[in-house]
Structure 1
Amino acid sequence: MMQNLINPFVKFVKQYDISMSDYTKIFDEYTETVQYEVESEINKTIINLMRSKPSSIIITGNAGDGKTRICRNVYENLTGVQLEKWDPKGIEEIKINGKKIRIIKDFSELQDNVINQELVRLQNAIANQNECYLIAANEGKLTHALVKNPELKALYDIVTSQLSDRTAPKPQNLHIYNLLHTSSSIYALKILQEWNKEGNWKTCGACKQQRKCIIYHNHNKLKEKNVQVLINRIYRSLDASQTHMTMRELLIQLAYVQIGGLSCEDIHQAKGEALQEQACKVYYENLFGHSASADFFEKIPGFMEIKKYDPGLLSNSKVDDFIFNGDLSGDDSAEEHDRLFGVNIDTEYGYFKQELYQYRSLYKTDENLGLALANNWLPRLRRKYYFESKSSLPVATSNEKSMIAFKFRQDFLKILKNEMVDPVIQKSLIRGLNQYFAKQIVYSPTNALYVVNENLFIYRIIEFSSFRWNVEKKDRDLDYAASSICLEVDGIQLKINLLLFEYLMRLANGGLPHILSDDVEILINNFKNKLIRSNDNKDNILEILKYNQTQDAYVLRQITVNGQGLNEVDLEPEFD
């Protein structure tokens, strides 16, 4: 006989609910045993290095990036002993292959004089190789301590060289691993996959409340590969816009995506309006914070960034028409419409269809049912359609580009995946830079870049063949997924992330210059300033951009000053 059951895994996930009065277990310092560990390659890399060839290691990053957890994992892996409680001093010592290893789980907890003593000892250890360190330290605290003591200059030089360049060679006796360089998308996907293994949800299969349980519904959707891919693509977008989410932030948010702040007891007790409220705690609403309290997502900046990729906010005529009218065709569309928007827990057990029918039948003509229907259901069902549509209907084939505000996001992620910038994209980016520099529509048939001032005087012309295009390489051992393109000319580089890529591609395709401008202006202006150099043309030659009415664009003109006056030459061919 089926009965109400409590799933211990739901209780585990619930501990990441920061609205609870006690959520200390999300901090490693208060953890006695580790359950459901999220494996990371950087964790394996550090353990393998310490086991095979012990060297001093400093792990930096933000609070919540998992520095202390890695220290715990190294201790337990090398000693074979479970670390139930950290030493009150925050320092543990172990021996491996005859070498002593000092583990400092958090530099910020130590007094300044102790930090100085340990850093001096570390510097000596690097030189003498008599012991090694594993230190977890926030970057600011570490560099501040090094700067204060001139005797630590040798250590300072080693540390800062690695902090400033992720790809810098690591000296044999000291390795710096900055967890700020790890990619959120890698961990997000691992968490989704690990949490939604069927073994974690066996209890729910025998619970009599499973049909009305939004938590179990979320699991059944989140275990689907297509849903995982689309959610992870949103986290890849964060990577590509240089937005870093710590491991703790990911666990907090994905716990909310999974259970919406609910518990098994909440499900068992729900009746009437409570059931309707729980139906809104579906994963695609939780992901963008639409089912959360007003201040929940404001606590962590990365949560707000995710909202930029919300498919529910952007109107799409084909998708919206399908949501409201897709069941009227009598063909495959009707079957797909019923699968998505029929009697399901997240459509409030068919309440959407009921309201849709009332609207069509002109029920309560004195009320604007169409507006209420659009406000209450349309954004939510756009999200459902985005993540769960599986049909080959024409409306479903282009939803990735048409439902996310970043129209060129897929192109950028494809470049990162293939590690190559297509020549067509290269030309569009140069065209976008020309439009930004000149603040006008520029015609350049040779795809040259014109570095101009506000008066359209040309400082420099850079031919298309002079540019070098590089795509960042992924680094599996450090949990790093490529996130940017580098445009280089004469040693001057422009790092192009997703935001800048989107901006330039929009400009190249007729977009307005103020959209996203706040996010990219500093990057582009710095690049432009580095490109500007003294005019190396002869004193009697000026190059400018001048409007051509026939071509309806600004074109390159050369003005020669001689004894007979001004001679203006059109340097670009006419349109065909």
Structure 2
Amino acid sequence: MPENKNPHVYRMARFLPFDPSHDQIYEEYQVARDSLNLDTAAFDYVLNAAKAGAHVIVLTGDAGHGKTHLCRRIIESFLGYNEEEARKLINEACDGRQVIKDKSGTDAAGALRIFKDFSEFSPQIAADLVEDSNTDDAVTIICANEGRLRAVLSGKEAGQYCAELLRSFDASFEDGKASRDGRVHIVNLNHQSTAAGSDGQSLGDLALRDWTSGTRWRSCNDCDARHACPINRNREMLSERVDGEVAVTRKAKLRLLFATLERIGYVITIRDMLMAFAYLLTGGLKCEDVHRMRRRHRRGWQQAYAFYNLAFESPDTISKEQLKRLPLMQQLPKLDPGRRALREIDERIVNQQEIFTGGQLDLQFPAPSTSDEDLIDASQGIDEIIGDPRNKKQRAEEAENVTRVVRALRRRAYVDGIGSTTLDMVHLGFPYGADFLRVVYDQMDVPARAILKKRVIAGLHHIQGLQFSEQTPTLHLVDPAFGRSMSGTAILAARIKPANVDLLRLSEKWGNSDEVPYHVKKSVDWIDRHIVLRIVDQKSEKHDLQLDLMTFDCILRAAAGHVPTRFYEHDIRRVAIFLGRIAQAAHSSSDQINLIRDGRSQTISIDGSTIQVGAGA
């Protein structure tokens, strides 16, 4: 069979920063055959807002979220232009000075004024243009990252209209509304999640389904390297048409990886996602690279290019400098399941047989130099790796081979769903991650929530340096004037009843999305990335602290008795400042001092010249 070249492989290569034609990933330079039009919630929201007569729509978020892409598609859907015409208008008529009218010229649909990028102007000029756009002749769309947007709207040249937009922008963080009146809309794409949605409907699932569909891979059927090609193997592992339900599970595990990164504070843009998927499917290889490596390398080289290995460890053909151009690939190794030993998983993949089908391309490793075998089939565990090392070098090589194979098997076990789902977050390094997910998915009944609150309160006590002889459901707050207690005695500023401590989803704090008009959940593909720790003080005032997955994990580790203070230093400081602010605002009796001594609560009262010491409340 001939050495074929699949055009789709080269299309994916253009999404990688290793290729000279990488500029095709940017909307302004893209050609129609490379475009991937994902139907995002943001697109639907912006289109509906424009049709409803919005005055201005602000699209904010980091570079790569698809602000320019959204504008191009709105020009198509709202004004009736085709893709090529809309892309030309993006490049020539979207500086905010021009009004783009309906293609028919009848103004039947309306008109758009688009600021494609505020960074093209100085803040002063941009502010003047925004003030001038305060007219009713067109729907204005403003695209800017958060920093640039604030610089323009709060600058010296900013007028009343800029001030109004800035107030709407700031208010959106407090009340979770994309709009107050349907006139000014704030669509914050930093809230957009590539992992939002279930049943294969997330943006990541849609992109993978498009790129692994059968019609794009027909040319591989006649290729002589098909059965030795890691690119084709990755496609098969992630294609529901080929691997069925297992492929669904694998994509669900990738979706969990992305969601976990978002929940520890990393913002994944659509551009990041597409570059990552192009890399995970191809490993930076093209068809001619596969043919060349197949001829020149020993068998077993393909396992390094399995998508689940590429996610956490780069192959030898990718340099560190190249990998730095893929932002997401700098973050995923933090969650590497291959570096975490779980007895339930390791015993199955190392000692039990027939967990994986034998002869799979991604599980075949080159045999060590001490072995007479050509290949090691990792589906049979690590028995074949153990040779007869005669010297230090051979022992080191054997240990390296065992480590490489076991890590790959752990990763494969994760993406294939080997083991219970309760271990997923543990596999990614978050032993209390399952509790976090149960809160954000509202899967906790009242007794379970009460138990979790008790553990959170214990963690808050540990962070303050409080030690009790037995666990208490009441939250004790140390007087901030005395700092973190380390001597066994602490003076208390307030006690908070368990009923006044609660854990909420961030979206729940902002109200029911079905009842609140213009709720932020309707403006973007949304997942709850934070849990809100709410404490109601003695004056019935609510104090909220947003906990991402990392901070939540820190608190529950503290509840278990130990937390690595250096690693969680930032999170501990945030929590301590939050608790100190509540304690400082609390009122305490002037003739009574509450304290914790040797793990027990006590009170000191002054009655004239007599000091009385008693048990605490």
Aligned residue pair count: 548
Per-residue deviation at 1:218?
A: 0.7
Per-residue deviation at 1:75?
A: 1.0
Per-residue deviation at 1:276?
A: 4.1
Q: What SS class does the counterpart of residue 418 from structure 1 fall into?
A: coil
Which residue in the other structure is 2:436 paired with?
Answer: 412
Distance 2:54 2:391 in 1: 77
Which residue in the other structure is 2:452 paired with?
Answer: 425
- CA separation of 1:50 and 1:420: change in aligned 2, threshold 3 A: farther
Q: TM-score, normalised by structure 1?
A: 0.87
Per-residue deviation at 1:432?
A: 0.7
Which residue in the other structure is 2:5 paired with?
Answer: 6
% identical aligned pairs? 20
- Larger deviation: 141-150 or 490-499? 141-150
Match status 1:189 vs 2:192: no
Match status 1:40 vs 2:63: no
Which residue in the other structure is 1:74 paired with?
Answer: 74
Match status 1:205 vs 2:228: no
| Equivalent pair of 2:3/2:225 in contact (CA under 8 Å) | yes
Match status 1:347 vs 2:375: no
Distance 1:536 1:545 in 2: 18
| Equivalent pair of 2:302/2:361 in contact (CA under 8 Å) | no
Distance 1:153 1:571 in 2: 56
Which residue in the other structure is 2:372 paired with?
Answer: none
| Equivalent pair of 2:605/2:611 in contact (CA under 8 Å) | yes
Match status 1:480 vs 2:505: no
Match status 1:283 vs 2:307: yes
Per-residue deviation at 1:508?
A: 1.2
Per-residue deviation at 1:113?
A: 6.1
| Equivalent pair of 2:422/2:434 in contact (CA under 8 Å) | no
Match status 1:463 vs 2:502: no
| Equivalent pair of 2:61/2:145 in contact (CA under 8 Å) | yes
Q: 1:179 aligns with which of 157, 178, 189?
A: 189
Match status 1:264 vs 2:287: yes
| Equivalent pair of 1:244/1:302 in contact (CA under 8 Å) | no
Distance 1:248 1:397 in 2: 30
Structure 2 residues not aligned, in runs of 5+: 197-202, 240-246, 367-374, 508-512, 514-520
Opposite residue 126 of structure 2, the aligned amino acid is I
Which residue in the other structure is 1:550 paired with?
Answer: none
Which residue in the other structure is 1:559 paired with?
Answer: 604
| Equivalent pair of 2:459/2:557 in contact (CA under 8 Å) | yes
- CA separation of 1:558 and 1:439: change in aligned 2, threshold 3 A: closer
Distance 1:147 1:284 in 2: 46
- Larger deviation: 471-480 or 11-20? 471-480
| Equivalent pair of 1:451/1:461 in contact (CA under 8 Å) | no
Opposite residue 361 of structure 2, the aligned amino acid is N
Opposite residue 501 of structure 1, the aligned amino acid is F
Q: TM-score, normalised by structure 2?
A: 0.81
Q: 1:233 aligns with which of 248, 256, 276?
A: 256
Opposite residue 351 of structure 1, the aligned amino acid is I
Structure 1 residues not aligned, in runs of 5+: 327-333, 548-553
Which residue in the other structure is 1:330 paired with?
Answer: none
Post-superposition CA distance 1:260-291 (Å, at most 9, x none): 10112212222242764443111011112433
Which residue in the other structure is 2:159 paired with?
Answer: 152
Which residue in the other structure is 1:102 paired with?
Answer: 113
Per-residue deviation at 1:502?
A: 0.6
Per-residue deviation at 1:355?
A: 10
Distance 1:398 1:365 in 2: 43
Aligned counterparts, 1:473-512, within 5 A:
473=507, 475-488=521-534, 489=536, 490-512=541-563
Post-superposition CA distance 1:488-534 (Å, at most 9, x none): 22221111111111111111123334264134123202311221226
Distance 1:214 1:359 in 2: 22
Post-superposition CA distance 1:53-75 (Å, at most 9, x none): 35321211111111111111111
Per-residue deviation at 1:358?
A: 5.1
Post-superposition CA distance 1:411-451 (Å, at most 9, x none): 21222112758222111111111111125456443333333
Query: Runs (4+) of structure 1 moved beyond 6 Å?
Result: none
Q: What SS class does the counterpart of residue 556 from structure 1 fall into?
A: strand
Distance 2:577 2:359 in 1: 54
Aligned counterparts, 1:256-335, within 5 A:
256-270=279-293, 271-273=295-297, 276-291=300-315, 292-299=318-325, 301-326=327-352, 334-335=353-354
Distance 1:442 1:380 in 2: 45
Q: What SS class does the counterpart of residue 2 from structure 2 fall into?
A: coil
Post-superposition CA distance 1:194-241 (Å, at most 9, x none): 322333323323433211010111111123010011111111112222
